[in-house]
Structure formats: C-alpha cells, structure tokens
Structure 1
C-alpha cells in the first residue's frame, strides 16, 4: 500500500470532524484533526500536510485568517474551505485569499473525497512540471533545490525558495520590495527589510556559478533578477 496522503482538517464541530476524519482514513488518508484555527496553524508548522480542509467559522482563528497566514508561508498547498455560509461575497473572498475549492455544508463525503483527489492530482501534475530554468541553473520549487548544470543540487530554505521563485517569475523586472515583504514576511517594517537583504545576499552566493545572472538592488523600489 502506498504511503497515505496527510491532510490537515480544521473543524470545530466535534461530531462532523470525527466523521470526516474517519471517512478519509478509510480511503488511505492520514488526517490531523484540529478544533480551532490557532491549533491548526501550529499543527501546520510542525507537520507536513499535503492538503488543507478548513472550516470557515472557527474559534480563536477563523478559516479565512488561517488560510491567509498559511499563504504567507506556502503558495502551493491546496486548500478546501468548508462553510455553511452561501453568500457570493464569502465564496469570492475564499478564492481571493488563496483557496482552491469551496464546499458548502451540508455536503456528502463522496463529494469531498472527489474534490480532494482532483486537487491532489492537479498539484502532482503541476509539481512535475514546476522545474524552472534560470541561466545554467535548474530550480525545483516544490523540492526547494537549486542545481547548477550537472553538479549536486543545493538545498534551499523555505524562504529562500519562495523569494527565488518570485524573482524568477519577475525576471528582468523589478520585484517590489514592499509587496514581497508583506507576502513572505507578513509586514514591510525595517527589521523584515533587513532580513530580506540577508536572504538576497545568500541567493546571490548560490547563483554565482553563472556569471550571466545577477540580483541587483533598485534603490527605493526592490530587486531585479537579471538573466
């Protein structure tokens, strides 16, 4: 049997949470069940879930706020929202903050499982094609590795990988300092800016085997990856 896929489930209704957990576990999923948003965020940071199922209305930290916090750390993990709210603006907000799917209560377990499998399959295809070429380097964003020609890959930290990803996606264009600080650090204050400068210096060193690549500082605006 293949290794079970780990799902983080945040649901504050005990009975519903257990039903979902037990149903998914019969389908070879490993489920980490949390009954509030704060606990779910801590569980996310200490585990490696491959998909999130988040109730919108939860104590301590609601599902939308939780998703926003997680999106500052991870752009790619699939997120499904569960909610009794059916107004259009709520659905729009869920997708706007980074949700991938939205399931209204009450729902059938079969429908949830189909949506989970569809997202996981889509993510798998995306990851297989998500090796970005930058100069003579191959950047594997999902695995957070950077490889120069045939040398052994360098392992990047989570924040290095996300910063490099945004630099590559905006190559030869200015990457706005304020926007990327808010996205990756959560704010654009002085200390976050200094931290970002440190990560830029680290990335410059890791890219220095290709003399045609440069990360330059555009004073007052941000950084530009020249390639």
Structure 2
C-alpha cells in the first residue's frame, strides 16, 4: 500500500486497481489518500472480503468498481476497460447536472446551491447521477441497486431507501425538487 501510494504520488495513474489486504497500509487507507490527491482517477478494488460491509466501505471511500476474488482475469480486464471508457478520457472534465437551483458535480460529488455545499457519499452520488440523467422518468429500483451494489438483492432495498432519504434531505432547499417513490417500480427525480 505504501509503495503503491508512493508510485501514485510520483507518476500518477490512468486507473488504480487496489487489493484491500496489503501489508503496512491496507487498500482502504491507500485509496483514501489517492482520493484526496485525485478525486477523478478511476479506482477498482480487488478483494477476498465479500461481506457487504467491505463493499460498502470501498464505495464510500470512492471506488468506482469492486470485484471479489476469485474472479476471471477476463472479467477484470472488461471492468478496467469499462472504467477507462467512462472515466479515463475525461478525468479532467467535470460532469455537471443542473437540478433545479442546484448544481451537481459528479466528479467531486458536490451538490451546490449558492453558498450551500453538500459533499455526497459515493453511493449518494451514484444514485443521484442516475436520477439526474433521467429527470421526469422512473429509474427502476433494480437498476439503481445494480449500479451501486452490482446486484439486485432484497437486503439492499432498505439501504437504497435510506440513501434516497439522505438525497431528499440534501436537496431540501429547493422546494421545486422532489424524489418520488414509484411503489413497486423505483424512483423519479422531478422538478416543478
């Protein structure tokens, strides 16, 4: 972990693939420091730790993807290529959404409205990006869970609802904005 961080500081990287369990500095600690230095570099965790708490911690730190061991090398290559397509060429370009009176920057995960600035968690930012890309349309709950946790699992539905509640609170200063629960289907971001 320390060696990886030193290499990142001196040479940078197009993408960071980090194991969670490393000697002297674990992958989570290394990733926190890398995120502080470069909020936009694509970050993928590899780990034998499959408990949802580890997956959640990885995404909260700012991972863009998470792959559990054992895995096929081909799957790792596919995921790296997908991350580079999505983030690699545009790392210096912030993607921004206008949501009512707010501006949402997907790279910095900041939601701003005047002097009001909210730093979203990685999960909140991933969910809001999906909703903001589909304003006025219902985004299937399964699609949101697959985007965030890579699987549609009934145990994630309460977590998803919790993150939606946090997003509603973050967007509360513009009364024209609503996140509507379309029962049995998903969620819709609307602006009056």
Same fold (TM over 0.5): yes
Alignment of 1:46-195 (within 5 A): 46-48=29-31, 49=34, 50=38, 51=41, 74-75=63-64, 94=78, 98-100=82-84, 119=88, 122-124=90-92, 126-127=93-94, 130-148=95-113, 150-195=114-159
Normalised to the residue count of structure 1, the TM-score between the two structures is 0.54
Report SS of the residue matched to 2:158. helix
Task: Indicate yes or no: 2:148 matched with 1:210.
Answer: no
Structure 1 alignment gaps of length 5 or more: 1-6, 10-20, 62-69, 77-84, 102-118
Give SS of 1:180's match: helix
Report the CA distance between 1:206 and its aligned residue: 1.5
Higher Cα Rg, which structure: 1
Q: Which runs of 5+ in 2 are unaligned?
A: 50-57, 66-72
Q: Which has the higher contact order (CA 8 A, sep 6+)?
A: 2
- TM-score for both structures, normalised by structure 2: 0.63
Partner Cα distance (2:43, 2:121) in 1: 26
Contact 1:8 1:44 in 2 (8 A): no
Alignment RMSD: 4.2
Aligned length: 160
Query: Are 2:59 and 2:123, in contact at CA under 8 Å, matched by a contact in 1?
Result: no
Distance 2:183 2:43 in 1: 42
Q: How far apart are residue 193 of structure 1 and its match?
A: 0.5
2:10 corresponds in structure 1 to 28
